Structure 1
Amino acid sequence: MKDDKRWILPTVLAVALVVVGVLGITQYEQKNDYKVMLNNQYQRMFYDMKDHVETVQTSLSKALLSDSKEQNILYLSQIWQQALYAQEKLSQLPVKHNNLSKTQKFLNQVGDYCYAMIQNELEDKPMTSEQREVLAELQNYTGLLSKELADIHNKVMKGNLNLNLVRRREDKKLEKANNDMLNTNLTNFEEGMSEYPELIYDGPFSDQVLNIKPKGLGDKEVNKNEAMEIAGKFIGDKKARKFTTFQEGDDVNKAANIPSYTFSVAMENEEKEPGLYISVSKVGGKVIWMANPRNVKDIKLSVDQGLKYAERFLKEKGYENMEVNYSVKYDGVALYNFAYKQGDVTIYPDLIKVKVALDNGEIVGFDASGYLVSHYDRDIPEPKLTQEEARDNVRFNFDIENVRLTIIPKSGKREVLCYEFKGKYNGSDFIVYINALTGAEEEILKVIKDENGTLMI
């Protein structure tokens, strides 16, 4: 009996060792599977961005050749939309955003310059030779960016670039990775942007607007720990497991002129790291943006259903009097644009973007940079024209469905009080903005509605 008992403990230990070994191997394999999955997700984002940039370059070449108003609007619309998508994908890649601020600004301005050209075409203002020269220069720079992306693509195909390694920034392999990583190639493009000209046009990302001092931050400065606490409260019931300083400084969020702290956040009950990224302003301690670059596959919600999640989220975060103006659906998410409403006046410069995953209604994107730059309690003047008087400055055969007062942004840091006339002309939806003080026609937007949402161009 004693001999039998002597074998019990070693046997138990041996079994335990085998179990621990099996669990260790299983966890190791699971960890590797998550790494592969995350790397594949980043690669998909990169490939999508590359395709969007190539489409921008192709459409720019077509717009330069076209001499038709209808075709110009078509090609310029494609450029505007694809540049928006490319910038969106770039913002989700594991690259230091302060290293790529010029690239992000370039993509924003390409889209917005073409957006301004669309407005000119709709107002029967033909493209000038100077504007075509700008488009030609934009095409040249887009060609350079396409080349850099093609070089990165070749490295990925050869297995010389692991985007998950770029994200993790492993110390032992960082020096070698830097020779191949995404930053290296796109930094070449950044250096080539030193001669990139300032664009003067009416658009939310024009240089004049970007240089505005933010009005909606307040005065209190916060340190990194306070910013981390603010970020944790904003994330809410998901509860952050680990915060890592992704980047900080005056160059962060330079496009919106808001110095900030940006954190990568690992979430509880989630294997992949980070779960999301979030940026908090140094002054005021406001959350500027949040992005969760997860993949959405099983779509269960409509755009209208997703809107309810976005509206509830804004109210929970203290953003009152926000109304949705248009939305876009892509890659399993819906992006909603909200404008602030002061009294009965819609304030378009005070813009917040909310992105909702259409599988479960999770908020996977938030951008309040426009709101934080522009928002303040305005002293709105009384209109000098009545609604009926303003109506006289709209085409007589424009079938008006809705009228409201709005404030729209214009070049030179101006804001203009307008009557917004929504309606139909020749079977298409348009919005006409008439200055409520002078009666001048300020803007005309065409509304495009389809199964993916509503766009205004």
Structure 2
Amino acid sequence: MNNRRWIIPTVLSLVLVIALVWGYNQFNKKNDYETALTNHYQRLFYDTKKHVENVQVSLSKALVSDSKEQNILLLSQVMNEAYFAQDKLSQMPVTHADIAKTQKFLTQVADYSYSLIQDHLDGKELTNKQRETLFNLQGNTSNFNKELSALHDKILEGDFNASRTIAKERNKLQQANKEMLQTRLVSFEKQMGKSPELIYDGPFSDQRLNKKPVGLGNKKVTKDEAKRIAKQFVGDKKVDEITSFEEGKDISKVAIPSHTFNVLPKNTSKDMAIYMGVSKQGGNVVWMVNPRRVSKNNLSMKQAEQEALKFLKEKGFTNMEPNYSLKYDGVAVFNFAYKEGNVTVYPDLIKLKVALDNGEIIGFDSAAYLMNHKKRNIQKPNITPEKARESVKIDFDIDSTRLAMIPKGSKEILCYEFKGKYKGSDFIIYINALNGKEEDILQIIKSENGTLTF
């Protein structure tokens, strides 16, 4: 009897100890996860700040340079740094709507620089109007740097917490707008809304961005219908909860107005919701971001590419082919272009991000595809591949030739695409299939992390 009296307290004490140990371990894991997530976003922020600083410096130098050769070098640096800044900014824990204008600004900085490079290559000097535009771009970049520097000071004070920022944003609390990332970046966003439109002949110019999308369809979709589409896109059985979040007062001015949602998968913490946008016209999923952390690299890039192709087919996107890829932080990024017959149609582009731990699609962007996809009456080439080859440098070692539709200004141009090598470097040369003119040259940069074109 005496032994029995000791059994129950002993068992309860053991259970309590186990519970305390388990709770302590969970607390440590949570802190470790939060620290890792915060460090990840801090690294993204520092990278963004570095790229924007480089943009400002190169723009300042271009304003005072009087050499076409030097300007080509400086504007090339501006173009690449602006693209890198845009990519890093898109991964920050800030809503898509809040940074849409800022991302557009960075894209235009890059593309305007490219258009000036083309002018220089044609032997043209910078006009006073072009220098004035560069001065305005440099001023806006300077303002952006000031916002990032103020945010940098806050981070050094230790006030930044990624999980809290995301959680407050998701719950739509008024306090969320007081969080540093939102406050600092959104204040710059408001300035971007006051910037004059850039006028130049480039694929990302305002005239082209503001054109009417041709791939949406005609049906108007209600918020409830869009919610069902978002749920189906993720998978009905995988979704625990789906709610709308703030679209912003300028939602009607964006290229593809969308219903926006937070989608909470089952068995997932509330601060790791998936963000999505479904077009109000046609009910197409325009973008999707799953900000979850990827812990391991279990898949090869080829396996990730197969997962991406499988996903596209499941979502009804057929005749898509991969073009460039990049790997970073456990994520594989792929660009897929539509193929019509034997012609690769680059304007119809879809971007996917694949988690390399389990092959899950954690990023989706079909905006370019929805803006441009349509039934095309593609002309037959006026010249043969052999005739087009005469417009390519004679000692350029060609690996492959195919037809491709490329964007140039407000037009789409049918070209022969020649992939090959020159003095050990990889390039792609585009020759107009109608008149034999050289339209574009891209350099291919290959590394262990993937393939990029510049």
TM-score of the two chains, using structure 2 as the length reference: 0.85
**Cα offset, 1:110, TM superposition:** 1.5
**Cα offset, 1:396, TM superposition:** 3.9
Q: Corresponding residue for 1:450?
A: 447
Given that 1:42 and 1:164 are in contact with CA atoms closer than 8 Å, whether structure 2 keeps it comes out as: no
**Cα offset, 1:371, TM superposition:** 0.3
**Cα offset, 1:339, TM superposition:** 1.0
The CA deviation string for residues 310-335 of structure 1, in whole angstroms up to 9 with x for no partner, is 22222222211111222233333232
The CA deviation string for residues 160-185 of structure 1, in whole angstroms up to 9 with x for no partner, is 45443332228999555544533322
Q: Corresponding residue for 1:433?
A: 430
* Residues 1:226 and 2:225 are matched in the alignment: yes
Q: How does 1:225-304 map to 2 (within 5 A)?
A: 225-236=224-235, 239-248=238-247, 251-252=250-251, 255=254, 257-271=255-269, 273-304=271-302
Q: Corresponding residue for 1:334?
A: 332
Q: Distance in 1 between matches of 2:162 and 2:284?
A: 30
Q: Please provide the CA RMSD for this pair.
A: 3.5
Change in 2 beyond 3 A, CA 1:178/1:419: closer
* Residues 1:415 and 2:434 are matched in the alignment: no
Q: Distance in 2 between matches of 1:150 and 1:55?
A: 14
Q: Distance in 1 between matches of 2:188 and 2:127?
A: 27
The CA deviation string for residues 337-357 of structure 1, in whole angstroms up to 9 with x for no partner, is 111111111111101111223
Given that 2:168 and 2:175 are in contact with CA atoms closer than 8 Å, whether structure 1 keeps it comes out as: no
Q: Distance in 2 between matches of 1:368 and 1:199?
A: 24
Q: Corresponding residue for 1:54?
A: 53
Given that 1:351 and 1:368 are in contact with CA atoms closer than 8 Å, whether structure 2 keeps it comes out as: yes
Q: Corresponding residue for 1:156?
A: 155
Q: How does 1:295-334 map to 2 (within 5 A)?
A: 295-334=293-332
**Cα offset, 1:306, TM superposition:** 2.8
Q: Corresponding residue for 1:44?
A: 43
Q: Which has the higher mean CA deviation after the structures are superposed, 318-327 or 65-74?
A: 65-74
Change in 2 beyond 3 A, CA 1:403/1:4: closer
Q: Distance in 2 between matches of 1:282 and 1:151?
A: 37
User: Which residue identity lines up with residue 409 of structure 1 in the other structure?
Assistant: P
Change in 2 beyond 3 A, CA 1:396/1:220: same
The CA deviation string for residues 395-442 of structure 1, in whole angstroms up to 9 with x for no partner, is 44444332222211122x322222223333454333332322333332
**Cα offset, 1:215, TM superposition:** 1.1
**Cα offset, 1:129, TM superposition:** 4.3
TM-score of the two chains, using structure 1 as the length reference: 0.84
Q: Distance in 2 between matches of 1:173 and 1:160?
A: 20
The CA deviation string for residues 257-313 of structure 1, in whole angstroms up to 9 with x for no partner, is 111122222222333622422211111111111112233453344434432222222
Given that 1:101 and 1:254 are in contact with CA atoms closer than 8 Å, whether structure 2 keeps it comes out as: no
SS in 1 for 2:354: strand
Given that 2:391 and 2:431 are in contact with CA atoms closer than 8 Å, whether structure 1 keeps it comes out as: yes
Higher relative contact order (CA 8 A, sep 6+): 1
Q: How does 1:32-181 map to 2 (within 5 A)?
A: 34-64=33-63, 72=71, 74-120=73-119, 123=121, 125=123, 128-130=126-128, 131-169=130-168, 174-175=173-174, 178-181=177-180
Change in 2 beyond 3 A, CA 1:448/1:19: closer
Q: Corresponding residue for 1:214?
A: 213
Q: Distance in 2 between matches of 1:15 and 1:297?
A: 34
Change in 2 beyond 3 A, CA 1:382/1:171: closer
Q: Corresponding residue for 1:193?
A: 192
Given that 1:247 and 1:261 are in contact with CA atoms closer than 8 Å, whether structure 2 keeps it comes out as: no
Change in 2 beyond 3 A, CA 1:253/1:14: farther
Change in 2 beyond 3 A, CA 1:228/1:34: farther
SS in 2 for 1:273: helix
User: Which residue identity lines up with residue 241 of structure 2 in the other structure?
Assistant: K
Q: Distance in 2 between matches of 1:6 and 1:423?
A: 84
User: Which residue identity lines up with residue 209 of structure 1 in the other structure?
Assistant: R
SS in 1 for 2:352: strand
* Residues 1:390 and 2:396 are matched in the alignment: no
Q: How does 1:367-406 map to 2 (within 5 A)?
A: 367-406=365-404
User: Which residue identity lines up with residue 432 of structure 1 in the other structure?
Assistant: I
Change in 2 beyond 3 A, CA 1:430/1:133: farther
Q: Distance in 1 between matches of 2:112 and 2:215?
A: 26
Given that 2:330 and 2:356 are in contact with CA atoms closer than 8 Å, whether structure 1 keeps it comes out as: yes
Given that 2:37 and 2:293 are in contact with CA atoms closer than 8 Å, whether structure 1 keeps it comes out as: no
User: Which residue identity lines up with residue 442 of structure 2 in the other structure?
Assistant: L
**Cα offset, 1:450, TM superposition:** 3.0
Instruction: List gaps (5 residues or longer) in structure 2.
Output: none
**Cα offset, 1:71, TM superposition:** 5.7
Given that 1:252 and 1:261 are in contact with CA atoms closer than 8 Å, whether structure 2 keeps it comes out as: no
Q: How many equivalent pairs are there?
A: 453
Identity %: 57
**Cα offset, 1:64, TM superposition:** 4.5
Instruction: List gaps (5 residues or longer) in structure 1.
Output: none
**Cα offset, 1:151, TM superposition:** 0.7
**Cα offset, 1:448, TM superposition:** 2.7
